[in-house]
Chain A
C-alpha cells in the first residue's frame, strides 16, 4: 500500500493566487514526521517545511504552510501568493520511527505550473 499519496499529478495556478497541494499518508506509528520538498527543473530537492506528528500547530515557513489534519492523515501544502519561480515538482514525504528505521518515503509528486 502507498504510504504517501499525492493525487494531483499536475496543478495550474495564476500568479499571486494561493494553491493547495494535497498529500495523504498511511501509518500506524504514533510518532512520525512529514516533509515537503520542491524540485525545480534543475533537479535539486529543496526542503520547504516540516510537521511533526505531535506538533499542535500547523507549520509555517514564509509563504508555505502545512495544513495538518491528523485524524484524516492529511498534510496539504499551501503556497500563498504564488510566484513564477514556484513552478516545480513538489514532493510530500513521511519518516516513521517504528523499528528504528527512519527512512523517508516519498509520494509521486505534483507538478505545479504558475502562469502570469
Chain B
C-alpha cells in the first residue's frame, strides 16, 4: 500500500484477554517501530525491527508484550492478559533503512486499544 497500514483501528477488549495488533509497513521499508501513546502523553518506544537482525525489545514494558515480524514485512504486536493501563494508541512506523540520514519515519494511523 501507499502508507503504513494498521489494524484494527479500534479495539475494545475485556481485562485479561489477549489482543493482537497488526502493522503492514510501506513496501521496501526494512526498519519497523512500535510506539505506545497514552492519552495526552508523548510517544513511548516499545520495539524496533531492522531487516533480519534481532529486534530491539528494550522498550517493552513487561513480558506480557511481544512482537514478531514475519518475512521482514508484516508485524504483529501481542499483548497478553491485558490490563486497564494498557489502554493507549499503539503506533507503528517504518523507514527505508535505519540510518543517520533523513530517512523519514512514516507512521500508521494507530490502533486505539481500550481495556475495560
Query: Is B65's beta carbon under 8 Å from chain A?
Result: no
Query: Residue A103 contacts which of B33, B91, B107, B109 (CB distance < 8 angstroms)?
Result: B33
Q: Which residues A65-116 have CB closer than 8 A to chain B?
A: 91, 93, 95, 97, 101-109
Let me know if A101 and B107 touch, CB within 8 A.
no
With both beta carbons as reference points, the residue of chain A lying nearest to B6 in the complex is identified as A44
| Nearest Cβ on chain A to B32's Cβ, whole angstroms | 11
Check if A25 is an interface residue, CB within 8 A of chain B. no
CB-defined interface of B98-113 with A at 8 Å, one 1/0 digit per residue?
1111101111111010
Number of B residues contacting the other chain (C-beta, 8 Å)? 27
A interface, size bucket: 20 to 34
Given contacts A106-B43, A108-B42, contact A43 B110 (CB under 8 A): yes
Residues of A within 8 A of B (CB): 31-33, 35, 37, 42-47, 50, 52, 91, 93, 95, 97, 101-109
Q: How many contacting A-B pairs (Cβ < 8 A)?
A: 61
**Interface flag for B77 (CB, 8 Å):** no
Is the pair A52, B42 in contact by a Cβ cutoff of 8 Å? no
- The interface bits of chain B over 29-69 (1 if a CB of A lies within 8 angstroms of the residue's CB, else 0) are 00101010000011101001010000010010000000000
The answer to whether A45 and B100 have CB atoms under 8 Å apart is no
Are A95 and B100 in contact, with the CB atoms below 8 A?
A: yes
Nearest CB on A from B58, distance (A): 8
Task: List 17 A-B pairs, Cβ < 8 Å.
Answer: A31-B100, A32-B100, A33-B102, A37-B107, A44-B107, A47-B106, A47-B107, A97-B100, A101-B56, A102-B50, A102-B99, A103-B56, A103-B59, A104-B45, A106-B43, A107-B42, A108-B42
Residues of B within 8 A of A37 (CB): 107
Question: Chain A residues with Cβ under 8 A from B98's Cβ?
Answer: 102
